[in-house]
Structure 1
Amino acid sequence: MEQEQETLQAIMGLIIHAGNAKSEAMEAIQAAKTGDFFLADSKVKLAEEALVEAHHAQTGLLTKEAQGETMQVTLLTVHSQDHLMTAIAFTDLTKEIIDLYKHVDNKK
């Protein structure tokens, strides 16, 4: 029972931190859109920090499995991994979008 609780906490950590990363990335795009590149860069940094936290949760799960602790794969588990991968892709695209806004701003 304790193992299941730890697994659930790791899965929820993945979802929460990945969601935070995506939210920060979205706010970064909105800041860049208004020309506030300092805020945009700060938000990207926060998104990246949230991704690191999500990776820590994921690493914990992977380490347990590598040590022989099997885990039942549930829809929640799959959802957490999907959330993480989406957040990573979104953060990567956010950096590109900010660069584009900066480029356009420099042309003005």
Structure 2
Amino acid sequence: MDTEQSIFEIISSAGSARDLTYQAIDQISNGNIESAYDLIEDAEKAMNTAHNVQTKLIQKEIDGEKNEGGLLMIHAQDHLMTAIAEHQIAKRLLPIFEKLLR
């Protein structure tokens, strides 16, 4: 996979993680606790995919391969970091919502 494809994989996977996280929040707000936790788990898998691709790009750069990602790579990093932050917040809120619903 070339650098540009890798960057688009980060953007796509991070976007999926964000979408799944928001779906989880919607599910818990509708009282669907198990579905919410399943979606959070799926979001985590998508984030792991993005993170693994990011790690490979970073390792290539450490090994001396120049990364020509530019603004596109910055955009990918922004997507991934936002997805991680939102996922962590949702993951911490789900148990609270669960207690309130029971």
Pairwise TM-score range, normalised by the shorter structure: over 0.9
2:90 pairs with 1:94: yes
Q: Following TM superposition, where does structure 1 have runs of at least 4 consecutive aligned residues deviating by more than 4 angstroms?
A: none
**Separation in 2, partners of 1:6, 1:45:** 28
Matches within 5 A, 1:33-72: 33-72=29-68
2:92 pairs with 1:75: no
Taking every aligned residue pair, what percent have the same amino acid on both sides?
35
Q: When the two structures are superposed, what TM-score results if normalisation uses the length of structure 2?
A: 0.95
- 2:3–2:69 CA contact under 8 A, matched in 1: no
Deviation at 1:73, TM superposition (A): 4.4
**Separation in 2, partners of 1:71, 1:38:** 41
2:27 pairs with 1:31: yes
Deviation at 1:66, TM superposition (A): 1.0
Deviation at 1:82, TM superposition (A): 0.4
**Separation in 2, partners of 1:53, 1:73:** 18
Deviation at 1:98, TM superposition (A): 1.3
**Separation in 2, partners of 1:30, 1:71:** 38
Unaligned runs of 5+ in 2: none
SS in 1 for 2:68: coil
Counterpart residue identity of residue 27, structure 1: Q
Deviation at 1:55, TM superposition (A): 0.8
Give the match for residue 85 of structure 1.
81
Count of residue correspondences = 102
Unaligned runs of 5+ in 1: none
SS in 2 for 1:72: coil
Give the match for residue 17 of structure 2.
21
Q: When the two structures are superposed, what TM-score results if normalisation uses the length of structure 1?
A: 0.90
What are the superposed Cα offsets for residues 47-75 of structure 1, whole Å, 9 maximum, x if unpaired? 00001100111011011101100113411
Counterpart residue identity of residue 86, structure 1: T
